């Protein structure tokens, strides 16, 4: 019987081990709750700020009211109308894209260039090969991931404009329009 009493005294009761408080666990739970509250607060404030900013529809309506006036009649705002330029259509392009981790990819592209009114159309015809070469060279330096986003396509337009304008003498490129754009 003495042996049984000794064995019982050596083992602590199961109730006391489970009910023992762990201060580190309590601190982590409190810290986690505070951090979740802070994230929720900042998200709420960000949403509130975004909701207060005017949408594109509101901005367009305000501008239309300025131009047309309250009665719907077009008013002269004193600003000069932007003169359209000359359009110059290029033949389609097929160019290899920069090698990424995946398989070889290429782009098929049809473009129309918009030149300034004072531009000489004969210069464009004479420099057509140089224009095509600069566009293909620009495309060869791009990865497919660069061209899949809207920002990437707009950046490509700016690069094409800069490349062509660097060698033109009479006039300059105002804009580049994509007629078709396909990445395979």
All structural domains of the chain with their residue ranges: 1-81, 86-183
CATH number of 86-183: 3.30.479.30
Among candidate residues 184, 183, 179, 182, the one with its CA nearest the CA of residue 87: 179
Tokens of 2: 């003495």
Task: Give percent above pLDDT 70 in the chain.
Answer: 79
Mean per-residue pLDDT for 117-144?
Answer: 87
Pairing between β-strand 106-115 and β-strand 86-89 as defined by DSSP bridges: antiparallel
Residue 19 has pLDDT above 50, yes or no: no
pTM of the model: 0.53
Are 163 and 100 within 8 A, CB to CB?
Answer: no
Among candidate residues 177, 98, 180, the one with its CA nearest the CA of residue 136: 98
Tokens of 108: 């098929």
Q: How confident is the model at residue 78 (pLDDT cuts 50, 70, 90)?
A: very low
Mean per-residue pLDDT for 17-27?
Answer: 73
Mean per-residue pLDDT for 113-139?
Answer: 88
Residue that has been written with the tokens 């207060």 in this structure: 52
pLDDT tens digit string along 148-162?
888 989 999 999 999
* Per-residue model confidence (pLDDT) at position 12: 55
């Amino acid at each position: 019987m003495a042996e049984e009493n000794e064995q019982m005294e050596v083992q602590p009761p199961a109730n006391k081990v489970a009910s023992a408080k762990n201060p580190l666990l309590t601190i982590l739970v409190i810290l986690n709750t505070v951090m979740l509250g802070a994230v929720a607060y900042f998200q709420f404030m960000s949403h509130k700020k975004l909701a207060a900013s005017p949408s594109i529809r509101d901005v367009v309506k305000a501008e239309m009211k300025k131009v047309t006036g309250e009665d719907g009649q077009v008013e002269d705002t004193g600003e000069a109308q932007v003169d359209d330029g000359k359009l110059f259509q290029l033949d389609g392009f097929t160019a290899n894209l920069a090698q990424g981790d995946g398989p070889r990819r290429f782009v098929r592209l049809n473009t129309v260039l918009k030149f300034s009114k004072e531009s000489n159309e004969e210069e464009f015809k004479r420099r057509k090969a140089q224009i095509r070469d600069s566009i293909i060279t620009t495309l060869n330096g791009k990865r497919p991931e660069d061209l899949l986003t809207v920002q990437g396509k707009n950046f490509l337009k700016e690069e094409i404009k800069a490349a062509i304008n660097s060698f033109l003498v009479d006039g300059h490129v105002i804009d580049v329009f994509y007629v078709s754009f396909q990445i395979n």
